[in-house]
Amino acid sequence: MNESGKKSVVKTWARASMISPDFVGHTVAVHNGNKFIPVYITENMVGHKLGEFSPTRRFGGHSGNRK
């Protein structure tokens, strides 16, 4: 990522990967089972897993009072 000086988006399917301090400032596209979700890595994310920042389920909402 840093060799050429450019920061490109890296696609990954590895949701269980631990975020290391080397990733800070980069964007990683994490697969959520359907598409890739771009995640910008900050210092607060170090030590967490990549999959924590790419939701896999969509909330359709509760059924309302339809009359």
Domains of the chain (ranges; CATH) run 10-53 (3.30.860.10)
Report the distance separating Cα 18 and Cα 48, nearest Å: 6
- pLDDT digit string, tens, across residues 25-66: 999 999 999 999 999 999 999 999 999 999 999 888 888 776
Q: What is the DSSP letter of 25?
A: T
Both tokens of residue 23? 């990733």
- pLDDT digit string, tens, across residues 16-26: 999 999 999 99
Report the amino acid identity of residue 34. N
